Amino acid sequence: MRNAQSPARRWVLVVRNRQRTRRVNTKLLRELADWVLEGPLRASEVELCVHLVGEAEISALNWDFLEHAGSTDVITFDQREEPQSATGARAEAAPVFHGEIFISVDDAVAQAKRFRTTWQSELARYVIHGLLHLAGHDDLQPTARQRMKRQENRLLKLATAEFPLRCLAICNLQSAI
């Protein structure tokens, strides 16, 4: 997927499934993240780990790092020295993505029921959401949250056309890399 003409570019993307709620096709999830990073987000460099975790682990992270009680869908840790701005503060340079994204598969399952969608689609949404945070988007203020949600919806629609999201669910463990 990455441009073969730029071998010096650093591109490390790992997806780890650390939960037991659902069997996940981590290879497809990685391909989706690669596609979003390289295409719409135009990343120049990637050093990223996406962790799929359960409710207990995401709740512990939520408390330990954000001092929020309970579960949440996505927690993103930006590990660059200077975070990016979604408003184009680094417009002269292609974005660099260094960090970790923790995604609660349990929350994806619960939210899918609530919003009458599939947990696979929610999982893709959470990956996109985490990547948007690393791209500099913020969802703390209402206006910024609306802007981020529009971008998230746009990217999810593009990803849905590009990838068979239903295949994020796998039927046998040999496919779970």
Map out the domains of the chain as residue ranges: 11-175
Render pLDDT for 33-70 as a digit per residue (tens, 0 to 9): 999 999 999 999 999 999 999 999 999 999 999 999 99
The string of pLDDT tens digits covering residues 118-156 is 999 999 999 999 999 999 999 999 999 999 999 999 999
- The residues pairing with 77 across neighbouring beta strands, listed in sequence order, are 100
- Predicted TM-score (pTM) of the model is 0.87
CB 105 within 8 A of CB 73: no
CB 170 within 8 A of CB 176: yes
User: Residues 129, 101: contact at Cβ < 8 Å?
Assistant: no
Indicate whether 174 pLDDT > 80.
no
DSSP 118: -
Strands 96-104 and 45-53: parallel
Among 3.40.390.30, 3.40.50.2300, 3.40.50.1820, 3.30.300.30, name the CATH number for the domain at 11-175: 3.40.390.30
| pLDDT number for residue 30 | 98
The pLDDT mean for the chain works out to 89
Burial class of residue 126, CB neighbours in 10 A (0-12, 13-18, 19+) = buried
